[in-house]
Amino acid sequence: MVASVRVQRASLVASFVLLAASGCGTVTSTPFAPVDAAPRDGGEAGAVGCGGVSMNDCPAGLEPWEPMNLAPAPMSMEGDPFPEALSFARRSWVIPGTTMRTSSVHARAFIKRPIAAVWAAARDPQTGRDPTASQGFGVRAYNTDPTFAFTYRTHVTVNAVITLMWDVDWRHGVVDGTIEAPRVTAARWQKTMGSSEIELIEGSLMLRAVDGQPDVTEVLYQYHLKAPFSSNETIVDYLTVIFGRLKDKAHGRTLVPNDCAGCPMAPPGY
């Protein structure tokens, strides 16, 4: 698996080299989908209870990007009904109200830790970082949007013949329960500025406490990507890496790498 990921990452960097040769490398700005545009995620099509995960509706602006997560439950492993391994659903998705078709991957897994511990790990920007596909990572700022409980902006750099850079805005909040004792949480992220070769990056993460299993949390991802030479497998690679980092953080293991030179200190509670 590691060798396969490295080969695909090398191919992606090679693709960026081709883009550089064609003269690409401009920077564009894309505002985060505003709160009042939340139904853009497909909620108008009949999503119930925050993507089918909760009896409650998601807070505006935290909905999953698609109405339902279509990834199957992970297969039991050696009698373990809650394996810490991702299952995937690969598909395409047309952004509602546009003609833009994107690669789309849904994923589902479990982490054998209470949801409070997993959610705390998810709010660490390092657990959304993929060091296998980038050469630079940083946090520009925290509390970037006071509408939500936890927000921040990260910065990613990929060095090819040209340097590709982009910013990603992240939001986290509670759907069921409280910040101290959540039952369901939701997060959204989206590329908001950077190299125009990457037309769209947007993802969502929902965490749900498993009924009757206080030490098990269900993890549900959705991720959209539109960029030259990318595919659903590009997304699968990314989700595999960040899930591994989320799992490690939730279990108290040290993340490698964990550098963030010049980054602001996280506020209390992050």
Label residue 164 by pLDDT band (50, 70, 90): confident
What pLDDT digit, counting tens, does each position of 258-267 carry? Answer: 999 899 999 9
pLDDT, greater one: 141 or 96 = 141
Distance CA(207)–CA(53), nearest Å, equals 9
CATH architecture under which domain 2-250 falls: 2-Layer Sandwich (3.30)
Domain ranges of the chain: 2-250
Average pLDDT of every residue of the chain: 85
Output the pLDDT for position 5.
Answer: 36
Output the pLDDT for position 57.
Answer: 84
Label residue 38 by pLDDT band (50, 70, 90): very low
Distance CA(266)–CA(1), nearest Å, equals 33
Please report, rounded to a whole number, the percentage of residues in the chain having pLDDT higher than 70: 81
Mean pLDDT computed over 36-60: 60
Label residue 39 by pLDDT band (50, 70, 90): very low
Q: Is the pLDDT of residue 233 over 60?
A: yes
Mean pLDDT computed over 50-71: 88
Please check whether residue 235 is in contact with residue 225, taking contact to mean a CB–CB distance below 8 angstroms: yes
Distance CA(121)–CA(142), nearest Å, equals 16
